[in-house]
């Protein structure tokens, strides 16, 4: 007699036969196939992603010259780009020299704290180094502000036609963007103050505004700031402030200890858009909070070297400002002569009403001129054109004038 647990001989054969018959029953393959289906069924990652990301629309930048050349079979030298408010003169010669020298140290990690650039910025504006934060473009600092302070269900307040990145950033963190109507394409600060609620964490004000080019006065800003409660952070985005001859003073609110961040960039008048570098100014405690959200080495050393040299090159900035004002005045005079509506600008671009903006954008692009279609900003009849060299401005107008069906105003009866 085999002992218990002894699987030798006939007893083992009998048990194996029973086990095989059970495994071969129809119910087992059915159960296994169901299990296999459950394991291999595709599951969308959207089921586990933050629900508010479903409706997030990615930022659409100006069309690069390389894309247009490739798509249309044009030479890059035949194309002019007046879409992204870049400096047509390029970087400062001093910045180019500094960046060339920095390239020789490309094998080393950059200064993660940006000591010399932060010190240079601080000295230029009369602040301490711990009141300056650097970003991979000022856009990254907008994201820092969101990371630090926004939760799902919070609110930010912006003008209806404001830089779209504010809304994208808020959506990224599950916050709601409250858009306030902007008559004449200018911030209505009284209405924006009324839109602030206990849920409001941040208010974004671009001055001059992008994409409209409008400007707020010192009196308007002061009146608004007197109404802002202490729990709200006010962000002044001043990417285009260097194009102003007498810009409003928002830095005074930082000196007063207010919860204010002033954003500026090296992409515009300094001509370093490709290097992605910007900075923010705020009181020390606020900068300390934002620094906690920053990744190590977020600004490369070549960008830091070029930015510091460009910051100190007042002559290059003056030349850029001069050609911008000259070109802007020229375009606005020509638009008026053509009977086209435009928004008087204080920046290095002009918003102009042309009718079907997509059609005009495509037609100009086929002629080697890249502008910005404003449909994504809720302005399907408008394009934004950057100020280029006078030669570029003249070419743009030449190509624009031959297009049919522009939105020309009817003559006003005498």
DSSP state of 338: H
Beta bridge partners of 234: 203, 260
Given a contact cutoff of 8 angstroms between Cβ atoms, the answer to whether 59 and 168 are in contact is: yes
Mean pLDDT computed over every residue of the chain: 91
In whole angstroms, give the CA distance from residue 129 to residue 122. 5
In whole angstroms, give the CA distance from residue 158 to residue 151. 17
Given a contact cutoff of 8 angstroms between Cβ atoms, the answer to whether 322 and 178 are in contact is: no
Q: Sorting pLDDT into bands at 50, 70 and 90, what band is 10?
A: low
Q: How high is the pLDDT of residue 58? A: 76
Which is higher by pLDDT, 61 or 335? 335
pLDDT tens sequence across 346-398: 999 999 999 999 999 999 999 999 999 999 999 999 999 999 999 999 999 99
Given a contact cutoff of 8 angstroms between Cβ atoms, the answer to whether 154 and 199 are in contact is: yes
Domain made up of 93-312: CATH architecture = 3-Layer(aba) Sandwich (3.40)
Q: How high is the pLDDT of residue 49? A: 87
pLDDT tens sequence across 311-351: 999 999 999 999 999 999 999 999 999 999 999 999 999 99
Q: How high is the pLDDT of residue 1? A: 43
Q: Sorting pLDDT into bands at 50, 70 and 90, what band is 6?
A: very low
In whole angstroms, give the CA distance from residue 74 to residue 408. 30
Neighbours of 251 (CB within 10 A): 18
DSSP string, 138-176: HHHHHHHHHHHH--TT-EEEEETTS-THHHHHHHHTTPE
Give the whole-number percent of the chain exceeding pLDDT 70: 88
* Residue 53 pLDDT exceeds 60: yes
Which is higher by pLDDT, 18 or 227? 227
In whole angstroms, give the CA distance from residue 26 to residue 155. 59
**Residue 186: which region, alpha, beta or left (left: phi > 0; alpha: psi -120 to 50)?**
beta
146-161 average pLDDT score: 98
Helix (H, G, I), strand (E, B) or coil at 288: helix
Q: Sorting pLDDT into bands at 50, 70 and 90, what band is 51?
A: confident
267-280 average pLDDT score: 98
In whole angstroms, give the CA distance from residue 264 to residue 13. 84
Closest by Cα among 230, 262, 233, 234 to 247: 262
As separate numbers, helices (DSSP H) first and strands (DSSP E) second, the chain gives 15, 13
Beta bridge partners of 260: 234
In whole angstroms, give the CA distance from residue 329 to residue 337. 12
pLDDT tens sequence across 180-190: 999 999 999 99
Least confident span in 228-242, 299-313, 400-414: 400-414
DSSP string, 213-230: -----HHHHHHHHTT--T
Q: Domain residues of the chain, as ranges?
A: 61-86+315-401, 93-312
In whole angstroms, give the CA distance from residue 320 to residue 317. 5
Give the whole-number percent of the chain exceeding pLDDT 90: 80
Q: How is domain 61-86+315-401 classified at the CATH fold level? A: 3.90.1150
């Amino acid at each position: 007699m085999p002992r218990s647990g002894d699987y030798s001989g006939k007893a083992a054969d009998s048990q194996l036969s029973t086990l095989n018959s059970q495994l071969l029953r129809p119910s087992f393959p059915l159960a296994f196939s169901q299990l296999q289906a459950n394991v291999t069924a595709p599951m969308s990652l959207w089921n586990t992603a933050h629900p508010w990301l479903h409706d997030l629309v990615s930022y659409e930048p100006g069309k690069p010259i390389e894309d247009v050349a490739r798509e249309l079979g044009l030479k890059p030298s035949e194309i002019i780009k007046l879409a992204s408010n870049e400096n047509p003169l390029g970087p400062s010669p001093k910045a180019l020299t500094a960046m060339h020298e920095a390239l020789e140290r490309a094998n080393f990690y950059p200064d993660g704290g940006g000591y010399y650039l932060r010190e240079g910025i601080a000295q230029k504006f009369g602040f301490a180094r711990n009141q300056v934060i650097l970003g991979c473009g000022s856009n990254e600092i907008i994201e820092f502000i969101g990371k630090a302070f926004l939760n799902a269900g919070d609110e930010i307040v912006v003008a209806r036609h404001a830089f779209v990145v504010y809304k994208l950033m808020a959506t990224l963190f599950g916050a709601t963007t409250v858009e306030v109507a902007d008559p004449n394409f200018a911030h209505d600060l009284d209405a924006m103050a009324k839109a602030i609620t206990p849920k409001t964490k941040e208010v974004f004000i671009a001055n001059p505004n992008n994409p409209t080019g409008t400007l707020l006065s010192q009196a308007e800003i002061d009146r608004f700031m007197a109404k802002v409660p202490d729990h709200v952070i006010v962000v002044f985005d001043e990417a285009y402030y260097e194009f102003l001859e007498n810009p409003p003073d928002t830095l005074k609110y930082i000196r007063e200890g207010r919860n204010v961040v002033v954003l500026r960039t090296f992409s515009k008048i300094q001509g370093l858009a490709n290097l992605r570098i910007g900075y923010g100014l705020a009181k020390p405690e606020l900068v300390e909070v934002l620094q906690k959200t920053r990744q190590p080495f977020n600004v490369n050393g070549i960008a830091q070297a070029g930015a510091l040299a460009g910051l100190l090159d007042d002559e290059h900035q003056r030349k850029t400002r001069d050609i911008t004002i000259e070109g802007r005045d020229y375009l606005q005079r020509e638009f008026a002569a053509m009977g086209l509506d435009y928004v008087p600008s204080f920046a290095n671009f002009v918003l102009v009403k042309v009718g079907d903006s997509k059609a005009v954008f495509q037609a100009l692009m086929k002629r080697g001129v890249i502008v910005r279609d404003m449909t994504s900003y809720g302005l399907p009849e408008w394009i934004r054109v950057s100020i280029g060299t006078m030669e570029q401005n003249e070419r743009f107008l030449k190509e624009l004038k031959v297009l049919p069906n522009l939105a020309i105003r009817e003559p006003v009866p005498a």
